[in-house]
Amino acid sequence: MRRLIYLLFAIIIIVIIVWGTGSTQEETEFQPTILNPLGPTVIPVAGITGDKLESDIPVDVHFYKNTDEAIAMLSSDSGQFAVLPVTAAANIYNSGIDITMLGVYNWKVFYMVASNEVEFNDWGSLKEKTVYTPIGRGQTADILMRFALSKQGVDPESEVEIQYAPPQEIVTLFQTGKIDYAALPEPFASLAINDGNGEIVLDLQEYWGKINETNERIPITGLFVKNDFLDSYPQETQEIVQLFDASINWSNANVDKAIEVSQETLPIPQPIMKDALTRIDFYYVPASRCQEEVDDFLRKMQELYPQGIRELPDERFYAQ
């Protein structure tokens, strides 16, 4: 009888341990990941990465180096949320990765810089010249530049030499006087002119607003979520959106602290980063309030450069 009591007691202890261990694992496993690109968008998530905000849901932020890495992590479910250029997200969605745009929060970042050795009066100044822009053909600045040149009567295919390189390489070429023109995102525009050998001569957002007779802003980058996560965790998704929005607001209100938190992943001198942030606009607008603007932007970008956006996304691309 005593052996039976001992046996029952042991079974109860084992059940309690297994149950307790299982609960702990379940709680630990629920930690959604936001995939965030390395670059100026490191700043808006500083409130999250620096543990400056309270949240009932633990959120991990993974910084990815290029879009291919983000696509691979979304495909393998290593990330449930992703910060993506709107144009890239449209192509990712049409390739079969089921994501939804929750909102847009990066509205201003692209500038044209020119060296002190040249004059830039308008887009016609680039005729028979070479201009550098990051990554490759089809990115936002590249398409806008080609459109602007055509509108000015300059053939971007034959009358301007457009070269592509990593932004860090373009900054070095500009600082050493090897190139005179570059269309760059911040903070690379600020880095390029930091030595006093050039200046910002054009705000691409301002140009876009004027030709479209609309706000001087571009829906550049948004927050996206995988639809299987959204369907399973609608309330948690909303809480993470609120946390993301709060992090943007925290960074805008605490610029010095946000830069300090971001130094490990974005090692740009604080004065330059602070100057660059005066030319960047981060504020969150839900998809329900910017869908028409994003759809119009994608439609015009496709008209300007069909190879850049193969197909316009349908209604399911936008969170309702």
pLDDT digits (tens, 9 = 90+) for 71-123: 999 999 999 999 999 999 999 999 999 999 999 999 999 999 999 999 999 99
d(CA 147, CA 141): 10
CATH of domain 110-212: 3.40.190.10
State the pLDDT confidence band at 3, using cuts at 50, 70 and 90: low
d(CA 86, CA 104): 8
Which DSSP symbol is given to 309?
S
Structure tokens at 206: 């301002």
Which DSSP symbol is given to 45?
T
Could you tell me the CATH superfamily of domain 33-107+220-317?
A: Periplasmic binding protein-like II (3.40.190.10)
Q: Give yes or no on whether 33-107+220-317 and 110-212 have one common fold.
A: yes
What is the torsional sign of CA 209, 215, 217, 223?
negative
Return the C-alpha torsion angle 193, 248, 222, 229, nearest 10: 150
User: Per-residue pLDDT tens for 261-298?
Assistant: 999 898 899 999 999 999 999 999 999 999 999 999 99
User: How much is the pTM?
Assistant: 0.84
- The domain ranges of the chain are 33-107+220-317, 110-212
Question: pLDDT at residue 147 above 90?
Answer: no
